[in-house]
Chains A and B, each alone.
Chain A
Amino acid sequence: MIYRETGQYKATYGADQQLFPIVQDRYFFFAFMAFLVIYPVFFGSDYLFQVVLYPVLGLGLCALGLNILTGYCGQISLGTGGFMAIGAYSFFKITTIFPDLNILIIFIFAGLISALFGILIGLPSLRIKGFYLAVTTLAAQFFVEWCINRSDWLSNYSPSHTIGAPPRELFGFLVMGPEAPGSAKYLVMLFIVAVMTLFARNLVRGRIGRSWMAIRDMDIAAELIGIRPLFTKLSAFAIGSFYIGVGGAMHVMFNLENVDPEAFEIFSTSFPILFMIMIGGLGSILGAYMGAAFIVLLPVLLRNAFPFLGIDIASHVIQHIEFMLFGGLIVFFLIVEPAGLARLWQILKEKLRQWPFPY
């Protein structure tokens, strides 16, 4: 009843093309953003930050990058972990070489290096499609892991090739490193994620986004109406890898803080992020974050559910139950709604528009 668009007329194309054409959506969005800023800053505990917010933001941005590539442009990639590692190690190298450089600029450079590598990995996509392309992107994964393990220079000669988050300031506030307050790190992450998400939203609704989707839906027709496949696919690889690189750098520098190359293994990065966009919704920006929240929060909820219900089970049993439930829920979601959580959200909104008089 409250969620009505009656009487909201659009008199110009500009008004029709805005991000939130429905007023209620706009208010809800701003309220939600305000909540995201205010609540954690005043009431956030370390547990909330480290278990929920950092991973959802960091991995969510990576999922968004993969969604640009896979969900919007239709190029399946299994090299996400490799691009995250490139972002993280680039950030580490640049910030140790230029300690005084503004970290926002370093994030951009880390993303750019990842984007360059993405273009390289994307080159076979002109000839190879689908699963075969996915296999070629594994090259990114394995090559980067190999590189990090072999090159001592990349980790500043640390014995186990570990990198850590150095203490860094942004506009006079300590925002990085073990001593930095949780809320400061959180706000920097939230700012980067919000700006990059807005940019991604603008890209996918504009010319480039339409080219990506055209290539995804019907590549031959796209070519015959003048879209250049090579440029379009490589731009998706570049921009997707940029997002994954920045996301990976943030995930390591703000959340994990100390990582060795094993952290970027295919089973701990590439696959979970692919699951995030499948569960969240391919070709949806909101879906990337919903999927990230789902994958990150589900184990947390399951872990807390049994003690909360007063059932006393040994922790290793809980862990096994967690895996089973997790697998089961993924199968359940993929069967019930293959288009993902974002589609469920959309259906809910369509239903809500008519509620309580659905005729």
Chain B
Amino acid sequence: MVTDHKQIGEALLQVNNVSLSFGAVQALSDVSFEVREHEILAIIGPNGAGKSSMLNVINGFYTANEGSIVYKGISRAKMEPADVARNGVSRTFQNIALFRGMTTLDNIMTGRNTKMHRNFIWQAIYIGPARNEELEHRRKAEEIIDFLEIQAIRKTPVGRLPYGLQKRVELGRALAAEPELLLLDEPMAGMNTEEKEDMCRFILDVNEEFGTTIALIEHDMGVVMDISDRVVVLDYGRKIADGSPDEVRGNQSVIDAYLGVSRE
């Protein structure tokens, strides 16, 4: 177990009674849970359960109709996605959302953009402060490239990379921002066993080495049960279970949600 030598702390993020609807469709109703510091939390549930909507609310991309998000003790009802990102939340996407025209290195450097401050006049001149800043961040970007073992594709436009590597680069771009909370939306979707093992290893390493708190959505139950410290289960926009993997595995309503239940 990975939990042996890691200290799970207080709640980093609290989701309080969040409801979200699109017209008549109720995507989330009265969902509450918390993400604790340094843990790996998995959010699972059948298709259409509202998992991605939940991440989008946390990101500020959707605004909840009711309820609030408390992040690092500060409550917010509405926040611009860019500001959420600047406060240390980064994420990856279910369908890869890399900047296809740019190289791997540029994608990862873009992840560090919010940490760079030289204005455009310095950047136009380049020599001097802007160059120093660029090189300093290049060094950080290279650390992530080393960590994810993607040195060989540093200068390749990401559009040309195979799917598994693109997922890895996307993780790199999210890590480049040095997040405190990392949201992963189906990081292992569509991967073969070997790629899944690699990805699991990276997720665990990120969690252990950088102490990053991770909330992930995943459909592969084997992976979920193996790597997560806690599991939240959503079904039809409601939270039906919350607990350690073993508790969730034995929960009757979870089994019903996944296998269906006869109403007799």
Which residue numbers of A lie inside 8 Å of B, CB to CB? 13-14, 17, 199-200, 202-203, 206-208, 210-211, 213-214, 216-218, 220-229, 235, 239, 283
Cα distance A216–B116 in the bound complex, in angstroms: 20
Contact of A217 among B59, B85, B100, B177 (CB under 8 A): B100
Chain B CB within 10 A, most for which of A202, A207, A213, A222: A207
Cα distance A299–B61 in the bound complex, in angstroms: 51
Q: B107-118 interface mask toward A, CB cutoff 8 Å, 1 = contact, 0 = none?
A: 001110110101
Contact of B97 among A14, A208, A211, A218 (CB under 8 A): A218
Say yes or no: is B36 at the interface (Cβ < 8 Å to chain A): no
A213 touching B101 by the CB < 8 A rule? yes
Which residue numbers of B lie inside 8 Å of A, CB to CB? 59, 61, 80-82, 84-86, 90-91, 93, 97-102, 106, 109-111, 113-114, 116, 118, 120, 123-126, 130-131, 134-135, 138-139, 142, 173-174, 177
Q: Which 8 A-B pairs have the closest CB atoms?
A: A226-B85, A221-B97, A226-B114, A217-B99, A202-B126, A199-B124, A206-B123, A210-B110
B102 touching A210 by the CB < 8 A rule? yes
Q: State how many angstroms separate the Cβ of B171 from the closest Cβ of chain A.
A: 12
Cα distance A225–B111 in the bound complex, in angstroms: 6
Task: Given A199-B125, A203-B120, verify A221-B98 contact (CB < 8 Å).
Answer: yes
Chain B CB within 10 A, most for which of A17, A211, A225: A225
Chain A CB within 10 A, most for which of B61, B91, B120: B120
B120 touching A239 by the CB < 8 A rule? yes
Task: Given A218-B97, A225-B173, A235-B120, verify A211-B110 contact (CB < 8 Å).
Answer: yes
Closest B residue by C-beta to A74: B101
16 pairs, CB–CB < 8 Å, chain A vs chain B: A13-B139, A14-B131, A17-B135, A206-B130, A211-B113, A214-B110, A221-B98, A224-B81, A225-B90, A225-B114, A226-B86, A226-B114, A227-B114, A228-B80, A229-B82, A283-B101
Chain B CB within 10 A, most for which of A211, A216, A227: A227
B82 touching A13 by the CB < 8 A rule? no
Contact of B113 among A200, A210, A216 (CB under 8 A): A210
B134 touching A214 by the CB < 8 A rule? no
Closest A residue by C-beta to B60: A224
In the complex, what residues of A have CB within 8 A of residue B125's CB? Answer: 199, 202
A226 touching B99 by the CB < 8 A rule? no
A213 touching B99 by the CB < 8 A rule? yes
Chain B CB within 10 A, most for which of A206, A211, A214, A222: A206
A227 touching B97 by the CB < 8 A rule? no
Closest A residue by C-beta to B100: A217
Closest A residue by C-beta to B130: A206
Contact of A207 among B91, B123, B173, B177 (CB under 8 A): B123
Contact of B82 among A208, A217, A228 (CB under 8 A): A228
Closest B residue by C-beta to A238: B120
Contact of B101 among A216, A223, A226, A228 (CB under 8 A): A216
Closest B residue by C-beta to A207: B116
Cα distance A284–B258 in the bound complex, in angstroms: 51
In the complex, what residues of A have CB within 8 A of residue B123's CB? Answer: 202-203, 206-208
Known: A14-B131, A227-B110. 16 other contacts (CB 8 A): A17-B135, A202-B125, A202-B126, A203-B120, A206-B130, A207-B116, A216-B101, A221-B93, A221-B99, A223-B81, A223-B82, A224-B59, A225-B173, A226-B85, A226-B113, A227-B114
Chain B CB within 10 A, most for which of A213, A214, A220: A214
In the complex, what residues of A have CB within 8 A of residue B110's CB? Answer: 210-211, 213-214, 222, 225, 227
A203 touching B177 by the CB < 8 A rule? no
Q: State how many angstroms separate the Cβ of B137 from the closest Cβ of chain A.
A: 9
In the complex, what residues of A have CB within 8 A of residue B86's CB? Answer: 226
Contact of A213 among B81, B90, B106 (CB under 8 A): B106
Contact of B126 among A206, A218, A222 (CB under 8 A): A206
Q: State how many angstroms separate the Cβ of B186 from the closest Cβ of chain A.
A: 15
Cα distance A35–B109 in the bound complex, in angstroms: 37
Contact of B109 among A202, A210, A227, A235 (CB under 8 A): A210
In the complex, what residues of B have CB within 8 A of residue A206's CB? Answer: 118, 123, 126, 130, 134
Closest B residue by C-beta to A228: B82
Cα distance A208–B126 in the bound complex, in angstroms: 12
Cα distance A202–B129 in the bound complex, in angstroms: 13
A17 touching B134 by the CB < 8 A rule? yes
Cα distance A174–B110 in the bound complex, in angstroms: 46
Cα distance A223–B84 in the bound complex, in angstroms: 10
Q: State how many angstroms separate the Cβ of A65 from the closest Cβ of chain B.
A: 14
Q: State how many angstroms separate the Cβ of A20 from the closest Cβ of chain B.
A: 14
B85 touching A213 by the CB < 8 A rule? no
A207 touching B97 by the CB < 8 A rule? no
In the complex, what residues of A have CB within 8 A of residue B139's CB? Answer: 13
In the complex, what residues of A have CB within 8 A of residue B91's CB? Answer: 224
Q: State how many angstroms separate the Cβ of A44 from the closest Cβ of chain B.
A: 30
A224 touching B100 by the CB < 8 A rule? no
Task: Given A208-B123, A235-B120, verify A225-B138 contact (CB < 8 Å).
Answer: no
